[in-house]
């Protein structure tokens, strides 16, 4: 990256024992490119372009910590034989100039029964409209097993060249399902009070920290709001953040939204591409249902710049570790505003799908903002042939802002 701007966005900073050359991190986005659950040339090429485009660290998303945590057939899951493929991925990213992180997840109650071949697991028994399935409440033994799965997946990542891991405890994934009162109706030591709902997610953070050692960067994505009544709100999110810090998190990424609930696009503010989502459905029934009811189950939330800043700063003021900003940082000026407010890093997703070269172009002064228009057709594309900027392919937006 040739620095021509004096922006603080393009100065070094650290997460744990890792120094990054600038403050831009690619957010974990499901790529739909891990065909058959393997690292493909297309997946590597996607992240190689991001690395060459100037991002400081790119995040591979997602790596399910066990086979029963997958939501899609084309999703990676942690297993020893995946190690050489992960090494090929990290070698390619490093050669192109960026650090590599990987998002560790378990889908919990919205794991896909047709993919995992059995009934999904969840915090409590719950019907998932997204899958048309009822999950089983996890036993204490299964909670221990999944805690160990997260730790093993983190070790697999570290041993194969990743520079950091991001534990996904937001967006309605399994750890988030234990944190949210909407999905956690348990009456044992893992349900009820926030302290109890935190027990499993906190154990995961602690186990991962013990597995990877004291300096390896462990980021944790969490919800500052689930996005509906009866879910996690900001006051609880502050306490969750503090607990994750105590258990060994290196940095926090406060986000929002809940997959398999109408707030699934609460994080992806902008349009809801119902027609494209319906066209990419796996079968006729899903395609018809999506066309008829997609606008109900995937509610539209208008985009606004820095739409999560207020809640993020609440959490930033409650912890001592770095807090990474994500949510509507589309312009250089807004990114610098985030840094000035005390968040040392910015995660961006859709702007880098629109243009993998955006960091270099911001740095050189060629552009001052992303020209992504939040159409969200990239979200629909992830379930089809893989992530891409559909507007760019169709020539619907100018390339220069």
> What pLDDT is stored for residue 271 in this prediction?
87
Bond prior to 394 in cis (omega within 30° of 0): no
CA atoms within 13 A on the CB side of 63: 31
> What pLDDT is stored for residue 282 in this prediction?
53
> What pLDDT is stored for residue 298 in this prediction?
67
Answer whether residue 89 shows pLDDT above 60.
yes
> What pLDDT is stored for residue 316 in this prediction?
98
> What pLDDT is stored for residue 400 in this prediction?
43
Q: DSSP string covering 182-230, please?
A: TT----STTSSSHHHHTHHHHHHHHHHHHHH-SSS-EEEEEEEE-SSTT
67-82 pLDDT, tens digit per residue, is 999 998 889 999 999 9
Q: What is the mean pLDDT of residues 27-44?
A: 94
107-148 pLDDT, tens digit per residue, is 999 999 999 999 999 999 999 877 889 999 999 999 999 999
Distance, in Å, from the CA atom of 371 to the CA atom of 289, rounded to the nearest integer, reads 32
The answer to whether 106 and 116 are in contact (CB under 8 A) is: no
> What pLDDT is stored for residue 287 in this prediction?
52
Poorest-pLDDT segment among 20-24, 100-104, 125-129, 203-207: 125-129
> What pLDDT is stored for residue 86 in this prediction?
98
Pick the CATH number of 8-394 from 3.40.50.10490, 3.40.50.170, 3.40.50.11540, 3.20.20.70: 3.20.20.70
Q: What is the mean pLDDT of residues 45-63?
A: 97
Beta strand pairing status for 18-20 and 324-326? unpaired
Distance, in Å, from the CA atom of 264 to the CA atom of 350, rounded to the nearest integer, reads 16
| Angle, helix 140-159 to helix 199-212, in steps of 10 degrees | 30
β-strand partners of 64? 77, 105
Beta strand pairing status for 136-137 and 18-20? unpaired
> What pLDDT is stored for residue 295 in this prediction?
55
Which of the pair, 6 or 361, is modelled with greater confidence?
361
pTM, rounded to two decimals:
0.93
List, by residue number, the catalytic residues: 173
Answer whether residue 386 shows pLDDT above 90.
no
Confidence label for 401 from pLDDT (cuts 50, 70 and 90) = very low
> Measured over all CA atoms, what is the biggest interatomic distance in the chain, rounded to whole angstroms?
58
161-184 pLDDT, tens digit per residue, is 999 999 999 999 999 999 999 999
Distance, in Å, from the CA atom of 375 to the CA atom of 76, rounded to the nearest integer, reads 27
238-276 pLDDT, tens digit per residue, is 999 999 999 999 999 999 999 888 777 889 898 887 666
């Amino acid at each position: 990256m040739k620095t021509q701007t004096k922006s603080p966005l393009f100065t070094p900073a650290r997460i744990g024992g890792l120094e990054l050359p600038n403050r831009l991190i690619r957010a974990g986005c499901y790529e739909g490119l891990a065909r058959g659950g393997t690292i493909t040339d297309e997946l590597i090429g996607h992240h190689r372009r991001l690395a060459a485009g100037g991002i400081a660290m790119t995040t591979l998303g997602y790596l399910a910590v066990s086979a029963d945590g997958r939501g899609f057939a084309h999703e990676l899951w942690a297993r020893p034989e995946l190690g050489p493929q992960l090494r090929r991925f990290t070698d390619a990213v490093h050669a192109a100039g960026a650090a590599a992180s990987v998002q560790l997840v378990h889908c919990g109650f919205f794991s896909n029964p047709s993919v995992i071949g059995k009934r999904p697991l969840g915090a409590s028994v719950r019907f998932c409209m997204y899958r048309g399935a009822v999950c089983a409440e996890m036993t204490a033994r299964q909670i221990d097993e999944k805690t160990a799965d997260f730790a093993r997946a983190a070790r697999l990542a570290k041993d194969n060249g990743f520079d950091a891991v991001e534990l996904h405890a937001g967006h309605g994934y399994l750890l988030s399902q234990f944190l949210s009162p909407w999905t956690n109706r348990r009456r044992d030591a893992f349900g009820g009070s926030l302290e109890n709902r935190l027990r499993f997610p906190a154990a995961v953070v602690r186990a991962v920290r013990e597995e990877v050692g004291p300096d390896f960067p462990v980021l944790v994505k969490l919800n500052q709001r689930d996005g509906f009544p009866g879910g996690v709100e900001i006051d609880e999110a502050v306490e969750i953040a503090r607990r994750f810090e105590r258990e060994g998190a290196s940095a926090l990424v406060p986000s929002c939204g809940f997959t398999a609930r109408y707030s699934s696009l609460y994080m992806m503010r902008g349009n809801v591409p119902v027609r494209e989502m319906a066209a990419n459905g796996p079968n006729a029934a899903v395609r018809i249902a999506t066309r008829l009811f997609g606008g109900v189950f995937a509610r539209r939330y208008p985009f606004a710049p820095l739409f999560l800043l207020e809640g993020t700063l609440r959490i930033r003021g409650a912890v001592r570790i770095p807090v990474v900003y994500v949510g509507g940082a589309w312009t250089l000026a807004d990114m610098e505003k985030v840094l000035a407010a005390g968040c040392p890093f910015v995660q961006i997703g859709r702007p880098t799908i629109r243009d993998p070269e955006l960091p270099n172009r911001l740095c050189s002064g060629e552009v001052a903002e992303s020209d992504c228009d939040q159409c969200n057709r990239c979200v629909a594309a992830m379930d089809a042939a893989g992530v891409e900027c559909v507007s760019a392919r169709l020539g619907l937006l100018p390339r220069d802002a």
